[in-house]
Chains A and B, each alone.
Chain A
């Protein structure tokens, strides 16, 4: 595609439910990143994929968060048993090669946990 695509753009869920957020990176981009931005805060790194493997998962805040990437393309971020503090914009970015030399960001998924 022309850019990084994320879906859904908005998600409202009830506390305790599971959610899945999807990211379609730019075709051919081997590196994929997930960030979270809470209101009034900077971007918080969650996880990085190089191909289908995740060499850096250090930012995942708890074991309720997981992510996978298949076919060196689509990635899914799953949050289980959502909590109100999970409310944030979840941003996905991709880059052509390993290393964040130039990240292309999607428009994000606004997650609201009621």
Chain B
């Protein structure tokens, strides 16, 4: 079955700590991968995406993610978090060229202590 697994439900970090949020997917075929973020009181918005090419993709606000095909993973990283990164982060997958459904993980809540 197609699915996305996010390993951590809630991560608490201090400012300037490094961040890595895990994401593993189960999906047959070539995939497109996404990270979405929902800041408190705001809409879900796209953080970064991978379609093809360089497996290390960079997104907004200093975030990056690495697609490791052999591990079916797409972990999100940031070298030094800020209080403003407090949010919920969702990993998502769909088939390359898919016209429809984006499959989301359950999300990881990140709390950054000032």
Contacts and interface: CB of A to CB of B under 8 A. Distances in A.
Interface of A: 3-4, 31, 33, 35, 40-45, 48, 50, 55-56, 58-59, 91, 93, 98-107
B53 to A, nearest CB: 15
A58 B4 contact: no
Given A42-B4, A42-B90, A42-B107, A103 B101 contact: no
Contacts, number: 66
Contacts of A44: 104
B98 A100 contact: yes
Interface stretch (B11-19, B39-47, B64-72, B75-83): B39-47
Interface of B: 4, 6, 32, 34, 36, 42-46, 49, 51, 90, 92, 94, 97-107
Contact of A107 (B43, B90, B101, B102): B43
5 contacts: A45-B102, A50-B99, A99-B100, A103-B44, A103-B102
A98 B94 CA distance: 13
B46 A102 contact: yes
B106 A3 contact: no
B101 A45 contact: yes
A111 to B, nearest CB: 17
Contacts of A93: 44
A3 B43 contact: yes
